[in-house]
A and B are shown apart, each in its own frame.
Chain A
Amino acid sequence: MPASTDQAIDYLPYKMRVEKITEETPDVTTLKLLFDDHQQAEKFTFKAGQFGLYSVFGYGEATFCIASSPTRKGYIECSVKRAGRVTQALHSLLEGDTIGFRGPYGNCFPVDEMKGRNILFVGGGIGLAPVRSVIWNCLDRRDEFGDITICYGARTVDDLVYKEELKEWEGRDDINTIFTVDPGGETPDWSGKVGFVPTVLGEAKISSDNAVCILCGPPIMIKFTLPVLVDTHGFAKENVITTLENRMKCGVGKCGRCNVGNKYVCKDGPVFTCAEIEEMPPEY
């Protein structure tokens, strides 16, 4: 049993204000949120990979990772794909509106253990959100890490999130980037690759030496990417780190919704190595 947090939970969120809304794609929006209370803002810390429950009052709560980097203080960002009741309500917010946030919850990516190692980031679709938090975390401490490669794919050019940042990363000479869209999703001026993430990754020159991979995306992408990483590029499953997205309500190990076997994804996760996931019953 991991050490107890030993804090009280009353499910009362922080009051946050929507500072900025960025429409990333037709169905993904990034919200930049500021704490209403300055003291709360100062005390608040989190780690890359952690998540929270964001609420639109009257509609309910929904779970999203914190998509901004812990190195950028004073605000948090989340990127929300329109899916159902709460996400739709989040998409109808205006700048200045109030929302609730409770968190940060869950474990985190082992950023400190990644020091001195090469990092391969692999994201698919909205799955880039949690990865982005680690990417900026590492980029803001660039000297501490070895080679950094970012491989990102989406269905179409339109569906790529964080378009400005993709450009910025592409332009930096201390990052390798591989950006791709699914066949048929390209536009005439698309300069990246065309093909599914696993295929594109399989053809790329990637070394697993002293490397870790952070892999987030839809389950189907993970399913086909993992063999490429392990068999083609020789990654040990312990060095491929991903997140699980079981449905959550409480976020704090109470409501019972997120369990995979005897693990609570909200407490023991959402970050797991692929080796750990292999040990679990296939209920994710």
Chain B
Amino acid sequence: MQELTAQLREKAKELLDAKTVDLVIGYGPTGDNGEMTAVFARKPEDVEKLGLNGQCFRNLAVYLNKPEVRKQGKPAIVVKGCDRRALNVLIRERRLAREDLHIIGVNCDGVGEPLMGKCKFCSVHNPEECDDVLGDQIEMPAEDGQFDDVGEMEQLSGDERWKFWSEKLGECIRCYACRQVCPMCYCKRCVVEKNIPQWVETSPHLRGNLSWNVIRAFHLTGRCIGCGECERVCPMAIPIGLINKKLTKLVKEEFQFAAGMTDDEKGPFSTFDLDIDTDKGIL
């Protein structure tokens, strides 16, 4: 780990010195509990704040959408394999141009203590298409049972599911941390902020919360890369990742598609192809 940190700092310094990039978005320790949060190295001497360890669970891709960060100039970004998938979606959706970005990939054998759920089922330990890659290649087969929790939920009756979700979603306080942390939630004006008409009620009551959480998940269908950040940041500990996962499972079954594997993939809900889409549909 220390070795990786040293390599990262050296790389970052080189990029900043040569003005290849204006800032390096990476991880660094805050406080004394070893928590790794986002670090924005804008000057060569800032690279001392960068670091890498097994606690780098955050997905930094979200920062590429923030106007305040974009204003700092051309970024380099440190990504794990899963985060790299987020970049692919952003590139395919024309949010980012590949050439405007310097990608520092880190081969990753999992983060969090205990190991985060997503890491057990990960198939992208070694991020692809990066400008630099740090760390040794990792051989780690994905475990089976990625969708077991979705399956369990599907076993419940409609009434049981309704009880479960109305209890959980009833607690949502509408802080929108889930949206703000999501790399794919980049809309300038989110659907809950559109008020002519008011599509989604903004009050944190069950009716409003249901519409919000369902709409959020719908907008991420075929785009969510499963980094789990929304669920991690939810201060009310609502298992919203499970809703996304259900849709991810559907997309996999119906379209044999997983989001963010390449940057020129065609997402199921953003592509229309006369040869494939032979359904009569509504037309």
A84→B197 CA distance, assembly (Å): 10
When distances are taken between beta carbons in the complex, the residues of chain A under 8 Å from B198 are 85
Mostly, the B contact residues are strand
Within 8 A of B (CB), among A70-114: 84-85, 88
Q: When chains A and B are docked, how far (Å) is the Cα of A61 from the Cα of B196? A: 14
Bound-state Cα–Cα, A88 to B195, Å? 11
> Which residues of chain A (105-160) have a CB below 8 Å from chain B?
none
How many A-B pairs with Cβ below 8 Å? 6
Which residues of A are found within 8 Å of B196, using beta-carbon distances?
84-85, 88
Chain A residues with CB below 8 A from B195, complex form: 84-85
Bound-complex Cα distance A85 to B198 (A): 9
Majority SS at the chain A contact face: helix
Given the complex, which residues of B lie within 8 Å of A84, measured CB to CB?
195-196
Least Cβ distance of A80 to chain B in Å? 15
Task: Please name all residues of chain B whose beta carbon is closer than 8 Å to the beta carbon of A85 when the two chains form the complex.
Answer: 195-196, 198
Residue of B nearest to A60 (CB): B195
**What residue of chain B has the Cβ atom nearest to residue A58's Cβ?**
B198
A85 to B199, CA, bound (A): 12
Please report the C-alpha to C-alpha distance between residue A88 and residue B198 in the assembled complex, in whole angstroms: 13
List B contacts of A88 (CB < 8 A): 196
Shortest distance between the CB of B18 and any CB in chain A (Å): 37
Closest to B197 in A: A85
Which residues from 191 to 218 on chain B have a C-beta closer than 8 Å to any C-beta of chain A? 195-196, 198
- Closest A residue by C-beta to B194: A85
Cβ distance A163 to chain B, nearest Cβ, rounded Å: 29
Q: How far is the CB of A139 from chain B (nearest CB, A)?
A: 38
**Interface code B40-52, partner A: CB below 8 Å = 1, 0 otherwise?**
0000000000000
Tell me, in angstroms, the Cα distance from A85 to B195 when the chains sit together.
6
In the assembled complex, how far is the CB of residue A57 from the closest CB belonging to chain B, in whole angstroms?
14
CA distance A85 to B196 in the complex (A): 6
- 6 sampled A-B residue pairs with Cβ under 8 A: A84-B195, A84-B196, A85-B195, A85-B196, A85-B198, A88-B196
Residues of B within 8 A of A (CB): 195-196, 198
